[in-house]
């Protein structure tokens, strides 16, 4: 499992999916991106939406430990972008047998614009605060010459694009945020995927405008895009309003797909 931006094991979607994995006798693992979870990353770098190297290493280790066992991957939001980019560029050995990507920021530049307006500003402020705090915790006690960005300007950052321009891009070898978005966005890599992959996305996802959603011609044949009219960002609720019995259909759909792949039955609904 690959979590979203500023997420981790304690994210609601992760806990729900781990519970379902246990019920279906699937062994669950979650890769915490650098700086997430309980351990601070010691290197002068973090993680970003296009960094597949840690996931590639993680998958290789899982395969080395148990080569006879199939590996299924599920990515959420930023983690979904990482997963799809990996599948389109680095899964030549087929270590990942099947995958599910949820609420994908197909075009990072578009996603950054979408989350910076309207109701999405609530998400934007929370994520930006978490990201800035993580940089304070990581670099706050270090000398200036050991910090790979202008630490003094961090307090003045007021939006995610500026954060990526100041922190993410220079810390990971990109010239600008625009360069980072262009290289890392997964949409351009979807035709290279030869792994059975289910993409679950909502047309009303506040993190991505409808223009960012790929067309059928941009999808490789093993890739299925299930586009819901409603679902928001990692929401996908069903139920009734009066009785307040709303629950997510996301976890049952993910487990149904993966179990179908395990049985060699393709995509089960």
d(CA 6, CA 4): 6
Q: What is the pLDDT of residue 265?
A: 65
In whole angstroms, what is the distance from residue 103 CA to residue 200 CA? Answer: 6
Residue with tokens 């929370």: 126
Q: Give the residue numbers marked as catalytic.
A: 77, 205, 233
Number of H helices, E strands in the chain: 9, 6
pLDDT at 25 over 90: no
pLDDT at 20: 95
- 200-252 residue pLDDT tens: 999 999 999 999 999 999 999 999 999 999 999 999 987 655 554 468 899 99
The DSSP string of 52-81 is -HHHHHHHHHHHHH-TTS-EEEEEETHHHH
Lowest mean pLDDT segment, chosen from 40-44, 137-141, 180-184, 244-248 = 244-248
Of 1, 232, 5, residue with least CA distance to 101: 1
Q: Which residue has the tokens 């010239």?
A: 175
Segment 124-152, tens digit of pLDDT = 999 999 999 999 999 988 898 899 999 99
CA torsion, points 107, 113, 117, 119, in degrees to nearest 10? 20
Residue pLDDT, tens place only, 47-81 = 999 999 999 999 999 999 999 999 999 999 999 99
Strand 96-102 relative to strand 237-238, pairing: unpaired
| Confidence (pLDDT) at 269 | 54
pTM of the model: 0.93
pLDDT of residue 240: 53
pLDDT band at 41 (very low <50, low <70, confident <90, very high): confident
pLDDT at 88 over 70: yes
pLDDT value for 242:
55
Q: Which two tokens stand for residue 52?
A: 């597949």
Are residues 187 and 218 in contact, defined by beta-carbon separation less than 8 angstroms? Answer: yes
- Residue 243 is predicted with a pLDDT of 54
Contacts with 232 (C-beta within 8 Å, 6 or more apart), sequence order: 202, 204, 205, 206
Compute the mean pLDDT over every residue in the chain, rounded to the nearest whole number: 92
């Amino acid at each position: 499992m690959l979590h979203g931006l500023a997420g981790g094991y304690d994210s609601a979607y992760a806990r729900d999916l781990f519970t379902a994995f246990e019920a279906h006798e699937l062994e669950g693992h979650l890769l915490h991106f650098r700086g997430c979870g309980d351990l601070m990353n010691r290197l002068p770098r973090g993680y970003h939406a296009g960094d597949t190297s840690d996931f590639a290493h993680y998958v290789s280790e899982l395969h080395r430990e148990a080569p006879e066992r199939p590996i299924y991957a599920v990515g959420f939001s930023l983690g979904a972008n990482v997963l799809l980019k990996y599948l389109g560029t680095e899964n030549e050995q087929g270590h990942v047998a099947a995958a599910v990507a949820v609420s994908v920021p197909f075009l990072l530049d578009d996603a950054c614009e979408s989350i910076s307006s309207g109701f999405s500003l609530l998400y934007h402020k929370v994520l930006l605060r978490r990201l800035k705090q993580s940089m304070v915790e990581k670099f706050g006690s270090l000398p200036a010459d050991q910090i790979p960005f202008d630490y003094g300007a961090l307090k003045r950052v007021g939006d995610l694009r500026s954060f990526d321009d100041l922190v993410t891009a220079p810390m990971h070898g990109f010239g600008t945020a625009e360069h980072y978005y262009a290289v890392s966005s997964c949409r351009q890599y979807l035709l290279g995927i030869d792994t059975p992959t289910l993409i679950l996305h909502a047309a009303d996802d506040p993190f991505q405008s409808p223009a960012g959603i790929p067309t059928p011609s941009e999808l490789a044949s093993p890739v299925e895009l299930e586009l819901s009219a409603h679902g928001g960002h990692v929401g996908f609720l069903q139920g009734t309003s009066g009785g307040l019995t709303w629950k997510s259909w996301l976890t049952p759909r993910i487990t149904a797909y993966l179990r179908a792949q395990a049985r060699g039955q393709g995509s089960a609904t």
